[in-house]
Amino acid sequence: MEKATVVVIGGGATGLGILRDLSMRGVKALLVEKKDLVNGASSRYHGLLHSGGRYAVKDQEAARECIIENQIMRKIGRSCVEPCGGMFTRLDIDDEAYEELWVKGCADSGIEATPITLDEAFRLEPRLSRKHVKSAYLVPDAAVDGFRMSWQLIDSSKRYGGQLKTYTEVIGFDSVNGELRGVKVRDQFTGAQYEIGCDIAVNAAGGWAGFVGKLAGVEIGVQPDKGTLIAFNQRIVNHVVNRLHKSSDGDIFVPHGSITILGTSSMSVPDPEDTSTSREEVESLLKIGEQTFEDLRDFRILRTFAGSRPLYIPPGGAVGRSASRGFAIVDHERDGLKGLFTIVGGKFTTYRLMAEKMCDQICAKLGNKTPCRTAEEPLVEEVAEEDKARAKKFFPSYGVNLAATRLGVDRFKKVVARLEADPESRELVCECENVTRAEVEEICKDDTSFIVNDVRRRTRIGMGTCQGNFCALRAAAVFADMGVEPSAKDSLARLKEFLQGRWKGIRPVLLGRTLRETEMTRAIYELSMNVTGGEPQ
Amino acid sequence: MKTSDLIVIGGGLSGFMAAAVAADRGQKVSLLTYGSGSLPLASGAIDFLNAKAPDAAIKNLPDHHPYKKIGAKALDAAAKFFVDVTAQADLPYVGRLSAQIPIVTAVGTLKYSALAPESMDASRLADKKKIFVVEINGLKDFYAKMLADNLKKYFPEKIFEVAKLDLNLLGGRDITCMDAAQILSGNEQILADGLKTLDAGDDDAIIIPPILGLEGNSSRAEVKPQLRAQIFETTCLPPSPPGIRLQRAFIKYLQKSGVRIFENSKVIRAVVDGKKVSGVVVENSVREKIFPAKKIILATGGFYSGGIVMREFDEPREPIFDIPVFFPTGAENWSNKNLFGDAPQGFSMTGIFTDERLRPIDESGKILFENVHVVGANLGGCDKIFERSAGGIAISSAYKAATV
């Protein structure tokens, strides 16, 4: 039987953070994830690295955690964080009294909030509504790429011996006399069921933590809370722009590279798998968003998406916006199952802290006294300037940095060597995100690449301006050649699946220039490629 | 500015066709275009309808369908005129409305069109013994192995061979089919020599990406006689050489026929005189200018080309004449859960409704302008992509509008 000291359940930021932390402390850890990594709230969010300003009035403990972790993330995840800074703006319709509370809250929480004049605010953010904005402050918010940070967490964990298995679902727990012996899992592709022996298991399944708890017969107070977001095809803002009011829907704009994400709504849902979005949600976000940016509707929307926050609800606690953004650790020894822990709640910004606290408890149980080092050691080594210079011969310099940080030192070296040796591998599979064939093929070989979408999340093919119009065909062809799963050979099915995945996020925002893109997709793939195929009727 | 007999607004397939038909009948035509039209995106084939015999199937369409307004006579005449125009521009097309021609796509499916460029007509593929699928070193968007694997499903009994030719195309950047077609134009011998090395015989077929030049049939005419096997071009991702050839063939024909083409001319509004339009106002970088005309054909396209726009949900507009636009209301009717499904997409049915003479009408059926006619993707009431009728509607509505 396969064995690990600790099995971590859930491949989101929290689980990956725990895997890294344990591995660095010399604990043999294995992470299992039922789908692909960062498939839940760790990628389905606005990508805001909180300064804590958003929590400064209501939840100062969360605010303090945020500002501390914010500084740590910038240090350990340099290439994942875009230090764009943040701005809080109060509109004429917002409560003036709240501004005072907020300024005091920031001061009390250790968040530097610098008031600026309106002239300065409009200079920094020219699209802000001259009509509505009444005051503005700068805070140390930033943008963080949840995907990239997660890939780097994996690389870091692996360097210290951490292991992971994706598409491996937990289906039960094995215990003897109230003591955990192992975790029963199922391979999602082959259907094979087997057990992984362990002393300790950590339920870090986020929105799914309640389901995992049920398998062990324990009750966990987690409420999936769906948040819907909109990605625009332009950089509308230079800073993270927040509304200075009591936190509500649609009041955060986060710039990421060449796009902007507007979020978020908040709706309790029974099922964390519910990532559906609707025209009504989009319309409601736009209505609120255009109070801050009046010309919002002139920008092309790329897509909409949703994820579920795993809100922790203690017995009798509040739900939705009022629920705490803090986190909780439960030792299920209290429920009669020694060796099982659950960690729920929290947010991406504080995933490292959550992992540290969790690992402190695990290590105490294991008698491991190695201190946590995750706050000091950078996630990955920096890619050498020399390798970047070599790569610059083959891509635009904008693409070099992106590729370097998404691939990491070793893979980047391999890809650059391939680009130098084989001119055909320089073909851009995805022009929007500057992804070469060499990179796609390298990622196809990775042990977490099973289906085209796994490769998409790693390389970002299909996630840019054209939303797969051009790269869907190329990705399907390359994957048919390289893919490990037999299903990869069915290139037409994979191609349609890939575009259908994009369609899910486009459908609720099908207006304006998004309509043009969709008509182009259909003209290419239905008229020119006849992917719906067959004989004429 | 002298008054034109006809002003055509839009430089896509339907606009070109309308201008060509009118000019052929001796009218003084001005064509106003803005942007490049959608032909460079198109496969080059003209689809009439997803049916074994499009002419027969058209009879069963609902009354609001554009084909019902256009009528069988115009359809037939349009197809004949189109074949004639393209032949005169040295871009031979084959086909007829009572049958469908198979074309090999870049992903290895077959697509069926009523009219197809001769270079893509794969009707005889079924008679071939061995099929060579040839990719070109450094040419992107053409994956011979994927194509062959998918095409095998249509021809399981045939022998397939995947081959790769090095034509020294690789340079500092990616090479698309359009680049390759441009490079090979006037330089066809390297391709012919490469294809000869395959040693394909009389009974064999060679499938290549659409790289046989960007002008008419001249590149193909150079290569074809040197080979024993028959060569077939596929469709490709845009920019598409067969679409560009068609665009150029029309422009050549229009110039020869005396049509005045005004590029970069964005029409912003009409000069309305009661129920008639006496001209259109064009805005370019310098100033606004009025183009007077006796008759106007609106061929500005659908959502793709900006002939119909929609800034807010449930508010699609036709921006020049502000003609009412038919559309399915509500999120549920606007689009389907599946991108590629077995039902038309609501948003794609959005467009203008007309009378039998293709004049725009309002909800009550009242004709809005006596001398404005609407063609191509501006027309509503059917999903032209789903039912594979985009090309057929474009040329037949244009023919009708130009002849009424």
**pLDDT tens sequence across A138-193:** 999 999 999 999 999 999 999 999 999 999 999 999 999 999 999 999 999 999 99
Host domain of residue B204: 99-236
Cis bond upstream, residue A89 (ω within 30): no
Structure confidence at residue A319 (pLDDT): 64
Instruction: Give the ipTM of the model, two decimals please.
Output: 0.97
pLDDT in tens, A461-494: 988 888 899 999 999 999 999 888 888 899 999 9
Give Cα B300 to chain centroid, integer Å.
Answer: 14
Quick one: pLDDT band at residue A395, thresholds 50, 70, 90? confident
Q: Which two tokens stand for residue B250?
A: 């029309």
Nearest CA-CA partner of B135 in B162, B169, B96, B106: B162
User: In terms of CA atoms, which chain B residue is nearest residue A470?
Assistant: B237
Tell me the per-residue pLDDT of A350-392, one tens digit each, with 9 for 90 and over: 999 999 999 999 999 999 999 999 999 999 999 999 999 999 9
* Tokens representing residue A43 in the block: 């990628």
Does the beta carbon of B331 lie under 8 angstroms from any beta carbon of chain A?
A: yes
Interchain pair A529, B105: CB under 8 A: yes
CB contacts < 8 Å between A and B, how many?
Answer: 153
SS3 assignment, position A296: helix
DSSP strand pairing (A81-82 vs A142-144): antiparallel
- Spatial separation of the C-alpha atoms in residues B144 and B212, rounded to whole Å: 17
CA A277 to chain B, closest CA, distance in angstroms equals 12
| % pLDDT > 70, chain A | 98
Q: What DSSP character marks residue A528? A: I
Q: Which residues neighbour B238 within 8 Å (Cβ) at sequence distance 6 or greater? A: A524, B40, B41
Of B52, B338, B390, which is closest to A527 when you measure between CB atoms? B390
Name the phi and psi angles at A360, rounded to 5. -60, -45
Same domain, B152 and B201: yes
Separation CA A36–CA A237 (nearest Å): 31
How many domains is chain B partitioned into structurally? 2
SS3 A303: strand
Query: Which CATH code is given to the segment(s) A2-40+147-221+325-366?
Result: 3.50.50.60
Q: What is the CATH number of the domain that holds B220?
A: 3.40.50
Q: What is the mean pLDDT of chain A?
A: 94
The torsion angles phi and psi of B4, rounded to 5 degrees, stand at -85, 150
Residue B353 is given by DSSP the state -
Q: Looking at the complex, does the CB of residue B58 fall below 8 Å from at least one CB of chain A? A: no
Same domain, B185 and B226: yes
- Global pTM reads 0.94
Q: Is B72 exposed, middle or buried (0-12, 13-18, 19+ CB in 10 A)?
A: middle
Chain B contact for A530, CB < 8 A? yes
The domain boundary, picked from B236, B263, B284, lies at B236
Mean pLDDT of A437-445: 93
Amino acid B287 reads R
Residues B297 and B201 in one domain: no
Alpha carbon distance B102, A496 (integer Å): 22
* A280:B313 CB<8 A: no
Q: Give the angle subtended at the CA of A100 by the CAs of A97 and A105, to the nearest 5°.
A: 125
The alpha-carbon radius of gyration of chain A (Å, integer) is 23
- Asked if residue B277 and residue B160 are part of one domain, the reply reads no
**Whether residue A323 has pLDDT greater than 70:** no
Q: What is chain B's mean pLDDT, rounded?
A: 96
Inter-residue contact A102 to A88 (CB < 8 Å): yes
State the nearest Cα–Cα gap between A220 and chain B, in angstroms.
34
pLDDT of residue B45: 98
Give which of A473, A506, A516 is closest to B38, Cα–Cα.
A516
Domain identity same for B263 and B220: no
Instruction: Tell me the per-residue pLDDT of A86-138, one tens digit each, with 9 for 90 and over.
Output: 999 999 999 999 999 999 999 999 999 999 999 999 999 999 999 999 999 99
- Top CATH class of A84-142+224-309 equals alpha beta
> Hey, which residues 214-243 in chain B have their CB within 8 Å of chain A?
235-238, 240
What average pLDDT does the segment A395-410 reach?
Answer: 85
* One domain for residues B89 and B103: no
CA dist A223 and A311 (Å) reads 5
Q: What pLDDT score was predicted for residue A487?
A: 87
* pLDDT tens sequence across B94-147: 999 999 999 999 999 999 999 999 999 999 999 999 999 999 999 999 999 999
B119 touching chain A per CB within 8 A:
no
Domain end point (choices B211, B236, B261): B236
For B331, the closest of A279, A426, A535 (CB atoms) is A279
Give tens-digit pLDDT for B304-342. 999 999 999 999 999 999 999 999 999 999 999 999 988
- DSSP category for residue A505: H
A85, two tokens: 């800074």
What average pLDDT does this structure show over A249-273?
Answer: 92
The per-residue pLDDT for B297 is 98
Is B41 an 8 Å CB contact of chain A? yes
pLDDT of residue A110: 97
Phi, psi of B293 (to 5 degrees): -155, 155
Confidence (pLDDT) at A322:
65
pLDDT for position B223:
98
Query: Contact B236/A423, CB-based, under 8 Å?
Result: no
Regarding beta strands B316-317 and B309-310, do their DSSP bridges make them parallel or antiparallel, or are they unpaired? antiparallel
Q: Would an 8 Å CB–CB cutoff place A519 in contact with chain B?
A: yes
Residues of chain A with C-beta less than 8 angstroms from the C-beta of B313: 279, 283, 511
Cβ atoms of residues B66 and B373 within 8 Å: no
Residue ranges in chain B whose pLDDT is less than 70: 172
Question: What CATH number does residue B58 fall under?
Answer: 3.50.50.60
**How many CA atoms within 13 Å lie on the side-chain side of A307?**
23
Q: Do B249 and B214 sit in the same domain of this protein?
A: no
Mean pLDDT for A241-251 is 93
Mean pLDDT along residues A203-222:
94
Q: Between chains, do B340 and A480 touch, taking CB under 8 Å as contact? A: no
The model's confidence at residue A537, banded by pLDDT at 50, 70 and 90, is: low
B107 touches chain A (CB under 8 A): yes
Give the DSSP H or E segment for A88. Answer: strand A86-91
Is the same domain home to B30 and B144?
Answer: no
Q: Which residues of A touch B304 (CB under 8 A)?
A: 515-516, 519-520, 523
* Judgement on whether residues B68 and B172 belong to the same structural domain of the protein: no
Q: Where are the alpha helices (DSSP H) in A6-145?
A: 13-24, 60-76, 96-109, 118-124
Q: Answer with the one of B182, B203, B236 that is the final residue of a domain.
A: B236
Mean pLDDT of A245-251: 91
Using DSSP, state whether A309 is helix, strand or coil.
Answer: strand
